[in-house]
Amino acid sequence: MLIHPEVAEALAAGRAVVALESTIISHGLPRPENLRIAREIEAAVRSSGAVPATIALVDGVARIGLDDDALAQIAGDDSVVKVSVRDLASVAARGGLGATTVASTAHLAARAGIHIFATGGLGGVHRGIELYDESADLTTLSRTPVLVVCAGVKSILNVGATMERLESLNIGLLGYRTDRFPGFYLRDSGYGLYDTVTTPEEVAAVLHARTELGTDGYGLVLANPIAETDELDRALHDRVLTSGLAAATAAGVTGKEVTPFLLAYFHEQTHGASLTANVALVLSNARLAGAVAVAYAAAA
């Protein structure tokens, strides 16, 4: 594992650091906009006073913080693969190029001593009962001490089942200035929240209380809804989701390929509106994560 000098210096000094995943760059955003947006996400973290640490495997090495050349490689190299926790060792052993998911980013961030992580949407339980499909994001967070700032779970998932699994796995769930669980492109997934916070300082206080109580071995999700002005029209969303799920089934898309397939389908069918929403929510999450990291460091 190689920690970028800026990140290492910030960690050693007890300053704010925010981990960022790289799958959103390689598989979640279209080229060539993905590289520009990746830089904007890092800039959003910096705007809150924290240091960004985008995580990826480059030439088989887990990199905690990327220079611009490595960021461009993740954004543009056709050989980059989507890497979850179970894939880390095999891709590293063959010197491969891997973009980290929520699960593998959280795992590597925790190993590096980073406690706060920003992403777009959390993985979860997929729709359908023929083949039970649950993202490794959930089981990884059940044993990984990180806070994940996200816009809820992706609306393409079974939201109710995912929330039940979060509870079963002891993964904490906080709503940021909302008592409704967000649905990625939508502010409200249709499910309520029991615990809310209103400031980064409150979130930091929860993190420190978890340490005092010994419950910090589990992940914590901070659900930050997309801004009202940025969310997709619900009727459009529901229509595209229905047709997208049918298209995925017809194409035989399964497993970890479902999410990138549906994100690309949304981008095409909404004529770019879903991409605009996606970028807006990721930038919002990065800014909030940066503010929480600063508050957490200040309260240490």
User: Which residues are annotated as catalytic?
Assistant: 21, 154
Are 172 and 218 within 8 A, CB to CB?
A: yes
Render the burial of 173-188: b for 16+ CB within 10 Å, e for the rest.
bbbbebebbbbbbbbb
Q: How far apart are the first and last CA of the chain?
A: 26
Task: Give CA–CA dist 135/221, Å, rounded.
Answer: 15
The answer to whether the Cα torsion of 206, 209, 215, 219 is positive or negative is positive
Task: Give CA–CA dist 154/102, Å, rounded.
Answer: 12
Are 285 and 149 within 8 A, CB to CB?
A: yes
Tokens standing for residue 235: 């009727």
Residue 51 β-bridge partners:
17
Task: Give CA–CA dist 225/153, Å, rounded.
Answer: 10
34: part of which helix (H) or strand (E)? Answer: helix 33-47
